Amino acid sequence: MMSKNIFIQIAMIAISVGIILTFVEPTFSKIGDLQDDIVVYQTEQQKVSGVNAQLASLINTLDNIAPDDQRRLLAYMPDEVDTISVVRDLSLISDNAGVEYISAVAAGEGVSADEREVEVVSDFVEPKEYIFTLSVEGGYDQLKNLFMLLEQNNYPLEVKTVSVQKAESGLLAAEITMSAYAHAAESDLNQEIEF
């Protein structure tokens, strides 16, 4: 009798171990994997919620900008610089300043950010640069007036270089290199968004 009792106990232990190895342990493993997936899902959901909140905030900010200000912003930083209009405006500004207009040339696009050695800020997309060269002759006060009018222009003109020499006519000959900027092209903005 005793041997039957021990045999039954050993069989029960063996069956228990078998049940644990074949059912309980895989079930606990699946539950652990599921809990890990839940944590990853919750983390990703929080990141998406953060991005959606930021997007809603930016849309709200955009909606709060007056249409008149939006129009001014588009004129100040257009999607594309019309080089012919800028050259025409430089001619008109020169006439208004009282200097003798010699020439204004669109020299092309500037050096891109990829070609320059600059520290890249993650969310900043550098605007597209267009370079113009203006040649004029005039007196000192007229040149000062020219720079004042360039500063008051409707779109940003950044003066890069100024070369002033005495001309044969006794006036000052100035060659001014400046840049106008536009938003980067949409293809430049296609960046991977990291969550």
What CATH topology corresponds to 79-186?
Answer: Alpha-Beta Plaits (3.30.70)
pLDDT digits (tens, 9 = 90+) for 19-76: 877 887 888 888 889 999 999 999 999 999 999 999 999 888 878 888 887 777 766 7
Is the distance from CB of 137 to CB of 174 less than 8 angstroms? yes
For residues 134 and 128, give the distance between their C-alpha atoms in angstroms, rounded to a whole number. 20
pLDDT, tens digit, 9 for 90 and up, residues 122-134: 445 677 888 999 9
pLDDT at 2: 57
Model pLDDT for residues 72-119, shown as the tens digit of each residue: 776 677 778 888 888 999 999 999 999 999 998 988 765 544 444 444
Q: Where are the domains of the chain?
A: 1-64, 79-186
pLDDT at 185: 52
Say which range, 64-68, 143-147, 182-186, 190-194, has the weakest mean pLDDT.
190-194
Q: What per-residue confidence (pLDDT) applies to 153?
A: 80
Q: What is the pLDDT of residues 120-164, one digit of tens each?
A: 444 456 778 889 999 999 999 999 999 999 888 877 788 999 999
